[in-house]
Amino acid sequence: MSASGSMPELRSGIFFFGLALFVLWESLRLELGTLKTPGPGFLSFGAGIGLAVLSLALITSGWGKRADLKAHSRRVILALLALFAYSLILDTLGFIVATFLLVAILFRLGGYFRQWWTLVAASASVALLAYLFFGILLNVFLPRGLFSF
Amino acid sequence: MNLFYCFFGVLMGTLVGVLPGLGPSATISLLLPVIFHVPAVSAMIMLAGICYGAQYGGSTTSILVNIPGEAASVITCLDGYQMARTGRAGPALGIAAFGSFIAGTFGVVGLMLFAPTLANFALRFGPPEYFSLAVMSLTLVTYVSRGSLVKSLIMAFVGLIMSTVGMDPITSRARFTFHTAALLDGFEIVYVTMGLFGLSEVLINLGQSLKKVTVSDSETSLRNLLPTRQDWKDSARPIARGTILGFFLGILPGFGPAISSFISYAMEKKISRHPEKFGTGVIEGVAGPEAANNAASSGTFIPLLSLGIPVNPSTAILVGALMILGLQPGPLLISARPDLFWGVVTSMYLGNIMLVVLNLPLLGLWVQILKIPYALLYVFIVLFCQIGAYSVNNSVDDVLLMNAFGLAGYFMKRYEFEGAPLILALVLGPMFENSLRRSLMFGGGDPLIFFTRPLSALFLVVALVLLFSPLLTRERIGKKVIEMKEEEG
């Protein structure tokens, strides 16, 4: 699948130009100071101007330059959703439960384990072994969550 | 104890050198949380071991199965794999290992001689020199990046902007934090590199076929590993040239193992009496680049340990590691912590010996590791990233930020923006800003202060020449690297 006819350089140029405008606005709010006493927004303002100029150059060079950009894979989108969900549930559910769920989803996306019971067993083993290795052996403080483990 | 960490570092380095899609930058990032639990010298010995160990591992799979584990070993595929196909995998691996050992050892001697001298010299540097040095380093990194110069410069500016996030060092005012406590200390190098290099690589691979890393048994048979007398005769000069070239290119920001190996190959081909045979399995095509990438790997430690200036993403993360360990990277590091400098130097001598002793008998094992299905391997890489990000501050916010940088890195790869200039600018940013603001204050607001001091002026002139030169060399290097990448893909 490909989103044919998209203009990747134009798109990225617009994104960075927007970012540059935001940085310039924030830098002005932070105070630029003077050349004699540069303020907290001095460097970010200068870098923002550089970014704006370069993104305009990218927009100009990318205008009309079409390229076949591969569509996002479903696997990538699901993996990203799982990763962001993991960051949100890690504190609440605790390391073992949250990691079990994440690993199960990732194994499923990889398609290595075909039967559900091997998937569950492998995910549980990985979550427990990771807890034993990092939490117990390397003494990393891992979140315990609702279930206190 | 340090011997153990040296061994562990070179072993991990070889492993990531073997595995495509997991480079030394990502591995050092993954292991950064471990350094909280070990003494500073041991930690640096281990992380340095990963850097130079990766150069050894990369050649093994390039020669045996035509899969470069590392960008620096892409060029080794050309003649190394052809040698393997004609039953000469042994001498190719042998000369790669011995050439790497000779170059690595020379590089350590160079490090020992040059780093303290350069550090003493750098004691004369004031804020204007540091500012100009940072400008020159960033320009060099963008100059030698493959692909578009505009995109590389955009990444450098984004890195500089990111480096201003957190408390202002002079006025203590919060900048770009949006009332988020996790951003008050600025972006941590650990989760930024894990996300941009480790996680994004996994996401890109997830979008492709997960079956690509497979090796058949027939491809991995090995015979005699020792090169013949003729092999040695043919390789001696390429090794010597590659060593000197790689070492000096390694010192310069932006060059480093990958580009050094490419230039060494091009040079060997140019001066060879039989250039038409390059690409058909000549040993000079393996010996030169392999020596160059190892010497360059040692060379990168000179600006790191003597000036606190990183020259590539791996050394940028090492600067971050030094700061995590409570050490101040810069010219005073060697005199303040001679145990650390000499500990790392000694470990590099021993590490190079360990790598030769380890690598040749373990070749079979490294090839077996390549057979692990990526559908299994990627889950562990993702999990290590999550735990690694969490363990820095025991904070879920860091995990969230790491995943966000993984997403950003994924888009950067899709749209062909390189991560190296961003990481270097992020690491150099605080030095850049402090020296800029202090210079302007000392100079009464006159920007000419950067041009009235000879060294500062020299650095800036070099940066300006690079930026506004016709970019002929850069385009040539960039095109070649892209060609090599395409061949790799």
Residue B125: is its pLDDT beyond 70?
Answer: yes
Residue B61: is its pLDDT beyond 80?
Answer: no
Cβ(B162)–Cβ(B187) under 8 Å?
yes
Residues forming beta bridges with residue A38, ordered by sequence position? A33
CB pairs under 8 A between A and B: 163
Asked whether the beta carbons of residue A50 and residue B157 sit closer than 8 angstroms, the reply is yes
Q: Which of A2, A10, A25, A44 to substitute to test the interface with B, most B CBs within 10 Å?
A: A44
| Residue in B closest to A87 by C-alpha | B400
- Please report the DSSP string for A77-146 in residue order: HHHHHHHHHHHHHHHHH-HHHHHHHHHHHHHHHHT---SHHHHHHHHHHHHHHHIIIIIIIS------TT
Nearest Cβ partner for B373 among A35, A112, A139: A112
Q: Which residues of chain A are within 8 Å of residue B440 when distances are taken between CB atoms? A: 35-36, 38
Pairing of β A67-70 and β B166-167: unpaired
Asked whether the beta carbons of residue B378 and residue A143 sit closer than 8 angstroms, the reply is no
Overall number of domains in chain B: 1
Q: Which of B191, B387, B467 to substitute to test the interface with A, most A CBs within 10 Å?
A: B387
Asked whether the beta carbons of residue B440 and residue A38 sit closer than 8 angstroms, the reply is yes
* CA dihedral of B132, B138, B139, B141, whole degrees rounded to 10: 140
pLDDT, averaged across chain B: 82
Residues forming beta bridges with residue B175, ordered by sequence position? B166
For B475, residues 6+ apart whose C-beta sits below 8 A from its C-beta are none
Residues forming beta bridges with residue A3, ordered by sequence position? A69
Residue B210: is its pLDDT beyond 70?
Answer: no
Burial B36-49 (b: 16+ CB within 10 A, else e): eebbbbbbbbbbbb
Band the pLDDT of A149: cuts 50, 70, 90.
Answer: low
Residue B71: is its pLDDT beyond 80?
Answer: no
Tell me the residue range of the domain where B466 lies: 2-488
Band the pLDDT of B480: cuts 50, 70, 90.
Answer: low
**pLDDT: which is higher, B140 or B451:** B451
Question: What span, in angstroms and rounded, lies between the C-alpha atoms of B474 and A110?
Answer: 39
At residue B489, the pLDDT reads 38
pTM, two decimals, is 0.78
Token pair 């150069």: residue: B55
Asked whether the beta carbons of residue B203 and residue A48 sit closer than 8 angstroms, the reply is no
**Tokens (6 digits) for B145:** 């990046």
Question: What span, in angstroms and rounded, lies between the C-alpha atoms of A38 and B433?
Answer: 10
Q: Which of A54, A61, A88 to substitute to test the interface with B, most B CBs within 10 Å?
A: A54
Name residue B197's amino acid: F
Count other Cβ atoms within 10 Å, centred on residue A43.
Answer: 25
At residue B485, the pLDDT reads 46
Task: Say whether the ipTM exceeds 0.85.
Answer: yes
At residue A148, the pLDDT reads 64
Average pLDDT over residues B449-460: 91
